[in-house]
Structure 1
Amino acid sequence: MVEQAETLRRTPLSRERILRAAVALADETGIESLSMRNLAHDLGVVPMALYKHVANKDELLDGMIDVIVGQIDPPERDTTWKDAIRRRILSAREVLRRHPWAPLAIESRTMATPAVLAYLDSVVGTLRAGGFSANLAHHVMHTMGSRVLGFSQELFDDSRRAGRSGPTSPEPAAALPPEFAARFPHLAEIATAASHDDETVVGQGCDDQFEFEFALDLLLDGIERLHEQGWTAPRRPR
């Protein structure tokens, strides 16, 4: 065991090694205890050595999120859009359950990371391939919200502090740089596929009130259907 630890300490430092060690440290002790000093100690290096690969803690957190999102199963082929998206979201949920600090870390970022954007772009691509218009796909993504990444913002969860905002939505396509549209074409497409409101908390270029009512009506319609069917939750075996 001591020899294995010593071997790891002698392994050349790299960005990937730092990020995976940071994820392991957060898994073990929580994201609150993560610091460059603690991480350097685990890796057997001085803190300054880390800065050759990550500029600061913000860049470290972004990289950790991308490591986590990279563990989500890729989209399945030869299946319906509904099954494909459901399975991916459930895969995302399983990943986040293995890394319980990740939802809070994702919510803490002011901009979505490249891996998160690629994942969201892929989900929109599945909707579009399933026959959804860009307009409908736009509203569906708002409706699913953080659930598309495998977690939901719980109303009574005290661990989430009021006022915390998650990754922002892409800006309107007209304001997006060409390289963004080329890398995430589905997100760029839906960015201007709906009505706009400059003063919105959902994301720049989106009508906050409409998105709220759209999601609310979908939920109420589904609840009404279950009520009319006399639905009850299946009992799980103990």
Structure 2
Amino acid sequence: MQVDRAVAKKGIKSEASEGSARRKAALDRRSIAESAVRIADAEGLAKLSMRRLAQSLGVEAMSLYNHVRNKDDLLGAMVEHVASGFYRPDPEAADWKAEMHRRGIRAHDQMLRHPWSPPLIAGRVNDGPEMLGYVDATLGCLFAAGFDAADADDAWNAMDSYIYGYTQLALSFPFQPEEYAQVAAEYLPHLPKERLPHLYAMTEAVATYRHKGMHRFEFGFEMILDGLVQRRAGQG
């Protein structure tokens, strides 16, 4: 029996070592970033640590540093993961406005899936190949449409300011769409109708279901694109 137990114990250790070796062999920058993104999506960016990440991957924390230099490098890899889902406009497309529209919608939707990403992307220098390729394709499409360097830069920044800002606002808004009417109805008695007639009218419209109060990303984004079309036409 003693021999059998020793053999069994040795076998268990061997299997555990083999499992650990397989996990380490499968570990790379991409798998690390994907796991980090899953943690941030589920628990928030503040809960992400190298130790927590290593635990989720079933490895020692030190093994992560063979693939990412530090926490900041990890965040960069996570940004690259998100950016890989962005749409790259085609500089050879006939309709540059449609390309920019598709770009904006895709970026907005992608960041909604990863709520931690808008402030992270907007607040750092992102020099990974995915993000740089995305920016290069955007500028290439604007150049092909006839924008010069200054106007292309302004157009790109105007679009992205709206995309990131609107997405962050949507993620931070304290109420869900299905709650708008009830919240408006509760708030309405506290608004002095005589002093704030226009705000009262808007709140009443939401409270009585005459206006859904839904935030519409495309409404504002189309206004920006229409303005760029007019500016480009005026330069032509």
Residue 113 of structure 1 deviates from its aligned partner by 2.7
Give the number of the structure whose alpha-carbon radius of gyration is greater: 2
Equivalence map 1:1-238=2 (5 Å): 9=23, 12-76=26-90, 78-109=93-124, 111-114=125-128, 115-147=130-162, 151=166, 154=169
Distance 1:20 1:47 in 2: 16
Distance 1:68 1:54 in 2: 17
Higher helix share: 2
Distance 1:145 1:78 in 2: 20
Distance 1:150 1:86 in 2: 16
The letter of the residue matching 2:98 is D
Q: Secondary structure at the match of 1:93?
A: helix
Residue 123 of structure 1 deviates from its aligned partner by 0.7
Distance 1:151 1:119 in 2: 20
Q: Is the 8 A contact 1:103 1:151 kept in 2?
A: no
Q: Alpha-carbon deviations, 1:74-99, whole Å to 9, x = none?
A: 33554400000110111111111111
Which residue number corresponds to residue 183 of structure 2? none
Give the direction of change, closer, same or farther, for the CA distance of 1:150–1:108 in structure 2 (3 Å limit). Answer: closer
Residue 128 of structure 1 deviates from its aligned partner by 0.7
The letter of the residue matching 1:53 is H
Normalising by the residue count of structure 2, what TM-score does the alignment of the two structures yield?
0.57
Distance 1:141 1:74 in 2: 13
Give the direction of change, closer, same or farther, for the CA distance of 1:123–1:78 in structure 2 (3 Å limit). Answer: closer
Q: Is the 8 A contact 1:27 1:100 kept in 2?
A: yes
Give unpaired runs (5+ residues) of structure 1: 1-5, 160-217, 223-238
The Cα RMSD (Å) is 3.0
Q: Secondary structure at the match of 1:112?
A: coil
Q: Is the 8 A contact 1:72 1:95 kept in 2?
A: yes
Which residue number corresponds to residue 177 of structure 2? none
Residue 149 of structure 1 deviates from its aligned partner by 5.8
Residue 41 of structure 1 deviates from its aligned partner by 0.3
The letter of the residue matching 1:56 is N
Distance 2:103 2:165 in 1: 9
The letter of the residue matching 1:13 is L
Q: Is the 8 A contact 2:33 2:78 kept in 1?
A: yes
Distance 2:132 2:163 in 1: 12
Q: Is the 8 A contact 2:88 2:137 kept in 1?
A: no
Residue 108 of structure 1 deviates from its aligned partner by 3.4
Give the direction of change, closer, same or farther, for the CA distance of 1:82–1:65 in structure 2 (3 Å limit). Answer: same
Residue 158 of structure 1 deviates from its aligned partner by 8.8
Q: Is the 8 A contact 1:128 1:137 kept in 2?
A: yes
Distance 2:163 2:136 in 1: 11
Q: Is the 8 A contact 2:126 2:132 kept in 1?
A: yes
Give unpaired runs (5+ residues) of structure 2: 1-18, 175-222, 228-236
Distance 1:73 1:142 in 2: 16
Q: Alpha-carbon deviations, 1:98-154, whole Å to 9, x = none?
A: 111111221332x12323232122111101111212222122123224335685565
Distance 1:104 1:38 in 2: 22
Aligned pair count?
A: 157
Q: Please list every run of at least 4 consecutive aligned residues from structure 1 whose deviation after the TM superposition is greater than 6 angstroms.
A: none
